[in-house]
């Protein structure tokens, strides 16, 4: 997951490949609760989504005394022991983050489970405290449940006490508004089997029921857990007397259909079938019980070519540009956000209606969508429950934008699709960590299938003499930007070690053999360790001898040639920070930012000395300084790719600069190379 202030997205041009998606949030949290409600039974739940929202549910269940064990190392299969009513804690304060799929059903279930003398408080983040829950509380109070608002009437936090048993036995018919959030009805449906041992309970829906597909998921899962709800025309639901939760033993969570929407759209926008490209999605397909699977129909209407089997979907470009549509999105409220961004690639105005529920989600999604689409240059109009999007009319109207995400995972995910814009303007997604709510590895998954022109992949080069701090600085800068790193010196060190290991003299006489060796190094980088043919050579290549051999072998032209493509192939999305001697002059001459990092020989020897001592290696500061200077002189005087600043490099002497200051300087230069973003990363970097 990219846990950084913003993620830069360079222009992307195409996409191809297979993605396997995380489990559905809606199904995961329902199934976890259902398993917990199977008193005295164990349920193994496979393919559970690992995310902020499921963490919120699991954390609450644990606090309530539920046993939860990982079945294997993947952590995606959990064995859940049903809660025992007798052994619930007397008090608990449950923090449910911003997880509506945890807050609503837990409120209903605990309102019925709380025993006399017990008390539970349910709360969440600030936004959760702005998300209405009054309709659910009103419905539960009709049953005799006792729920207090801790702060504001109608909103969490809530305090739950034991229900009035007499009222609960009498009030078997309740009403709930259907046009606010289907999660209220879901919560009641999941909770009422706890009360329905001896009598029927009936829920009457007032007004039109929105988001029916989510109720369909609830009813399907209740069936799997032995509860057969009678559904009379989506207006009246009866939980029959004698209902009792029964564990299915094992259950699999489908991949998330809403998450699939981004990749279906991706196929339609960026996978050209004439080039053999397609996006294949595994883990969810035509047999899905999730309502958002019907996003396929909407995407097809816009022109995406889709094929699907029971458990897979593939998408490619069909019509291009896409076709603008007018659609009532009541059946796909979450996935409809993806349509709003697809509208950027359509001819004409796309109008999405019946999306009033967007206003009470993680953020007011209609306002958020309008604000951010306008930043890109789109024309957007909206009303209480609709939005209309017209793409920029001409290429110059597209604008570079820093997209705010409002702590809303779907904003971050759907706006990433704007990186395929025809004007090739780069974007920024602010606070990309918000995808952790449902799809922590969303951007990694996107980058695995998206392609950029090599020249568009941003590269920062940091060259300079030995021990000037290049590697340390490169790692810090890369961490802040979410970029990969390339330690090119390590390659020469490994090649030098390999030559010695194979008894090859490091001289130009052996150039061909040494180059062949360099081209086929059996090397593996595992976290911070370097393995050569399975042997850990991490420390060996950092020795004085290792440094000398690296410097000697790096002066041999064919060896440098042999290592060139490996280095260039390291440039990958979303970007690379490369350090060495010739990153800016030879390997990445087109790099956007080149830094030549220096420090006095005295400081460098001192730093290297401290570094070696801290690694438990013997060192002598005078010898170290001599070795550094000899190596630098050799590196600077060789005929191929000598150590020198690129003509367009920015000089940074960090002799008297700490690492944080040097990092801020580079980030600030990087920001200056990217004018046009509304939020500059020099100010972001203050928290380095």
Ligand X SMILES: Nc1ccn([C@@H]2O[C@H](COP(=O)(O)O)[C@@H](O)[C@H]2O)c(=O)n1
Residue 493 engages ligand X in binding (rule: CB under 6 A) = yes
Distance CA 501, CA 517 (A): 11
Pairing assessment for the beta strands 576-580 and 484-487 based on DSSP bridges: parallel
Closer Cβ to ligand ATP, 408 or 463, answer by number: 463
Residue 350 engages ligand X in binding (rule: CB under 6 A) = no
The footprint of ligand ATP on residues 576-605 (CB under 6 A) is 579
Q: Which residue is nearest to ligand ATP (CB)?
A: 469
Closer Cβ to ligand ATP, 56 or 467, answer by number: 467
Q: Rounded to the nearest whole angstrom, what is the least distance from the CB of residue 567 to ligand X in the complex?
A: 8
Map tokens 């958002």 to a residue: 292
Residue 480 engages ligand X in binding (rule: CB under 6 A) = no
Distance CA 285, CA 337 (A): 20
If binding means CB under 6 A, how many residues of this protein chain bind ligand X? 16
Q: Tell me the window of 341-349, 406-414, 509-517, 575-583 that interacts with ligand X (CB under 6 A).
A: 575-583
Write the DSSP string, 302-342.
TT-EEEEETTEEEEE--SSSEEP-EEE-TT-TTTHHHHHHH
Q: Where are the beta strands (DSSP E) in 509-666?
A: 523-526, 529-532, 535-536, 576-580, 593-598, 650-653
Closest CA relative to residue 183, chosen from 230, 233, 217:
217
Residue 47 engages ligand X in binding (rule: CB under 6 A) = no
Residue 582 engages ligand X in binding (rule: CB under 6 A) = yes
Residue 524 burial by Cβ neighbours in a 10 Å radius (0-12, 13-18, 19+): exposed
| Mask for 636-675, x = binds ligand ATP (CB under 6 A) | ------------------x--xxx--x-------------
Going by the annotation, the residues of the binding site are 25-26, 30, 100, 131, 181-183, 211, 334, 361, 365, 410, 437, 464-472
The footprint of ligand ATP on residues 561-580 (CB under 6 A) is 579
Q: Rounded to the nearest whole angstrom, what is the least distance from the CB of residue 645 to ligand ATP in the complex?
A: 14
Q: Rounded to the nearest whole angstrom, what is the least distance from the CB of residue 276 to ligand X in the complex?
A: 36
Closer Cβ to ligand X, 350 or 547, answer by number: 547
Closer Cβ to ligand ATP, 318 or 471, answer by number: 471
Structure tokens at 160: 């739950």
Map tokens 């004007």 to a residue: 423
The footprint of ligand X on residues 288-317 (CB under 6 A) is none
Q: Are 7 and 426 in contact (CB under 8 A)?
A: no
Helix (H) or strand (E) holding 62: helix 52-63
Closest CA relative to residue 281, chosen from 321, 252, 254, 242:
254
| Mask for 407-446, x = binds ligand X (CB under 6 A) | ----------------------------------------
Residue 619 engages ligand ATP in binding (rule: CB under 6 A) = no
Going by the annotation, the residues of the binding site for phosphoenolpyruvate are 25, 100, 131, 183, 365, 410, 437
- Cα–chain-centroid distance for residue 46? 21
Choose from ligand ATP, ligand X, none: what does 581 bind? Cβ within 5-8 Å by kind: ligand X
CB atoms within 10 A of CB 250: 13
Closer Cβ to ligand X, 362 or 635, answer by number: 635
Distance CA 670, CA 443 (A): 21
Q: Rounded to the nearest whole angstrom, what is the least distance from the CB of residue 499 to ligand ATP in the complex?
A: 19
At 449, give phi and psi (nearest 5°). -115, -15
Q: Which of the residues 334, 463, 582, 632 is marked catalytic?
A: 334
Write the DSSP string, 140-179.
HHHHT-EEEESSSTTSS-EEEE---HHHHHH--EEEEESS
Distance CA 231, CA 237 (A): 5
Q: Are 553 and 499 in contact (CB under 8 A)?
A: yes
Residue 466 engages ligand X in binding (rule: CB under 6 A) = yes
Residue 607 engages ligand ATP in binding (rule: CB under 6 A) = yes
Closer Cβ to ligand X, 253 or 460, answer by number: 460
What's the sign of the alpha-carbon dihedral 216, 218, 224, 230? negative
| Mask for 210-229, x = binds ligand ATP (CB under 6 A) | --------------------
List, in order, residues 6 or more apart from 417 with CB less than 8 Å away.
262, 265, 266, 269, 338, 341, 342, 344
- Cα–chain-centroid distance for residue 619? 44
Choose from ligand X, ligand ATP, none: what does 580 bind? Cβ within 5-8 Å by kind: ligand X
The footprint of ligand ATP on residues 436-495 (CB under 6 A) is 466-472, 489
Distance CA 677, CA 679 (A): 5
Choose from ligand X, ligand ATP, none: what does 631 bind? Cβ within 5-8 Å by kind: ligand X
334 among known catalytic residues: yes
Closest CA relative to residue 430, chosen from 450, 459, 401:
401
Choose from ligand ATP, ligand X, none: what does 658 bind? Cβ within 5-8 Å by kind: ligand ATP
Q: Tell me the window of 72-80, 409-417, 490-498, 664-672 that interacts with ligand X (CB under 6 A).
A: 490-498
Distance CA 566, CA 123 (A): 51
Residue 550 engages ligand X in binding (rule: CB under 6 A) = yes
Closer Cβ to ligand X, 351 or 631, answer by number: 631
How many residues does the structure list for the chain? 688
Q: Rounded to the nearest whole angstrom, what is the least distance from the CB of residue 466 to ligand X in the complex?
A: 5
Closer Cβ to ligand X, 213 or 580, answer by number: 580
Q: According to CB under 6 A, which one of 178, 558, 575, 580 is a site residue for ligand X?
A: 580
Asked, as a colleague might, if the bond just before 127 is cis with ω within 30 of 0, I would say no
Angle, CA of 350, 351 and 353, to the nearest 5°: 150
Q: According to CB under 6 A, which one of 489, 558, 574, 584 is a site residue for ligand X?
A: 489
Residue 635 engages ligand X in binding (rule: CB under 6 A) = yes
Closest CA relative to residue 428, chosen from 672, 668, 262, 676:
676
Closer Cβ to ligand ATP, 450 or 477, answer by number: 477
Q: Rounded to the nearest whole angstrom, what is the least distance from the CB of residue 572 to ligand ATP in the complex?
A: 21
Q: Rounded to the nearest whole angstrom, what is the least distance from the CB of residue 637 to ligand X in the complex?
A: 11
Q: Are 29 and 50 in contact (CB under 8 A)?
A: no
Q: According to CB under 6 A, which one of 363, 402, 551, 585 is a site residue for ligand X?
A: 551
Q: Are 422 and 538 in contact (CB under 8 A)?
A: no
Closer Cβ to ligand X, 47 or 582, answer by number: 582
Going by the annotation, the residues of the binding site for 3-phosphoshikimate are 25-26, 30, 181-183, 211, 334, 361
Residue 478 engages ligand X in binding (rule: CB under 6 A) = no
Binding site for ligand ATP (CB under 6 A): 466-472, 489, 579, 607-608, 611, 654, 657-659, 662
Active site residues: 334
Binding site for ligand X (CB under 6 A): 466, 488-490, 492-493, 547, 550-551, 554, 580-583, 631, 635
């Amino acid at each position: 997951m990219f846990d950084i202030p913003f993620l830069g997205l360079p222009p992307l041009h195409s996409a191809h490949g297979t993605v396997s998606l995380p489990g559905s949030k809606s199904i995961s949290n329902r199934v976890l609760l259902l398993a917990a409600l199977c008193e005295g039974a164990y349920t193994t739940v496979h393919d559970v989504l690992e995310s902020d929202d499921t963490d919120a549910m699991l954390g609450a269940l644990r606090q309530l005394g539920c046993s939860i064990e990982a079945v294997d190392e993947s952590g995606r299969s959990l064995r859940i022991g049903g809660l025992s009513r007798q052994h619930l804690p007397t008090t608990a304060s449950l923090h449910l983050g911003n997880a509506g799929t945890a807050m609503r059903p837990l409120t209903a279930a605990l309102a019925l489970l709380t025993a006399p003398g017990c008390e539970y408080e349910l709360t969440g983040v600030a936004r959760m405290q702005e998300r209405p829950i009054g309709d659910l509380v009103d419905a539960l109070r009709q049953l005799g449940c006792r729920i207090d608002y801790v702060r504001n009437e109608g909103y969490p936090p809530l305090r739950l006490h034991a229900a009035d048993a007499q009222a609960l036995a009498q009030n078997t018919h309740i009403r709930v508004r259907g046009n606010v959030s289907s999660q209220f009805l879901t919560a009641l449906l999941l909770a009422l089997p706890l009360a329905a041992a001896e009598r029927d309970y009936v829920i009457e829906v007032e007004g039109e029921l929105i988001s029916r597909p989510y109720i369909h998921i609830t009813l399907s899962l209740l069936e799997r857990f032995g509860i057969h709800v009678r559904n009379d025309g989506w207006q009246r639901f009866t939980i029959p007397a004698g209902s009792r939760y029964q564990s299915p033993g094992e259950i699999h969570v489908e991949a998330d259909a809403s998450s699939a929407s981004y990749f279906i759209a991706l196929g339609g926008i960026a996978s050209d079938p004439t080039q053999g490209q397609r996006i294949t999605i595994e883990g969810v397909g035509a047999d899905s019980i999730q309502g958002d699977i019907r996003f396929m129909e909407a995407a097809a209407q816009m022109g995406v070519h889709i094929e699907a089997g029971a458990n897979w979907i593939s998408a490619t470009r069909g019509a291009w540009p896409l076709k603008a549509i007018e659609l009532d999105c009541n059946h796909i409220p979450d996935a409809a956000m993806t349509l709003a961004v697809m509208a950027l690639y359509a001819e004409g105005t796309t109008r999405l209606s019946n999306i009033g529920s967007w206003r009470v989600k993680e953020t007011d999604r209609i306002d958020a969508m309008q604000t951010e689409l306008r930043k890109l240059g789109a024309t957007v109009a909206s009303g209480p429950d609709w939005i209309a999007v017209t793409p920029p009319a001409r290429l110059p109207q597209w604008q570079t934008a820093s997209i705010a995400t409002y702590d809303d995972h779907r904003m971050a995910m759907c706006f990433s699709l704007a990186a395929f814009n025809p004007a090739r303007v780069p974007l920024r997604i602010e606070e990309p960590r918000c995808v952790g709510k449902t799809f922590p590895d969303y951007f990694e998954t996107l980058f695995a299938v998206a392609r950029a022109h090599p020249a568009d992949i941003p590269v920062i080069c940091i060259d300079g003499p030995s021990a000037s701090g290049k590697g340390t600085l490169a790692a810090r800068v890369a961490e802040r930007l979410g970029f990969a790193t390339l330690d090119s010196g390590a390659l020469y060190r490994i090649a030098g070690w390999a030559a010695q290991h194979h008894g090859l003299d490091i001289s130009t006489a052996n150039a061909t053999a040494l180059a062949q060796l360099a081209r086929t190094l059996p090397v593996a980088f595992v976290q911070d360790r370097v393995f050569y043919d399975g042997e850990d050579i991490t420390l060996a290549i950092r020795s004085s001898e290792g440094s000398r051999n690296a410097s000697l072998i790096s002066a041999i032209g064919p060896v440098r040639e042999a290592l060139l493509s490996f280095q260039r192939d390291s440039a990958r999305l979303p970007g690379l920070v490369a350090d060495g001697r010739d990153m800016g002059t030879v390997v990445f001459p087109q790099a956007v930012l080149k830094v030549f990092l220096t420090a006095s020989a005295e400081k460098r020897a001192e730093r290297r000395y401290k570094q070696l001592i801290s690694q438990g290696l013997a060192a002598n500061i005078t010898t170290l300084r001599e070795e550094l200077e000899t190596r630098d002189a050799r590196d600077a005087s060789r005929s191929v790719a000598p150590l020198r600043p690129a003509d367009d490099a920015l000089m940074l002497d960090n002799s008297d600069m700490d690492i944080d200051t040097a990092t801020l300087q580079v980030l600030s230069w990087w920001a200056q190379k990217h004018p046009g973003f509304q939020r500059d990363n020099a100010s972001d970097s203050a928290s380095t």
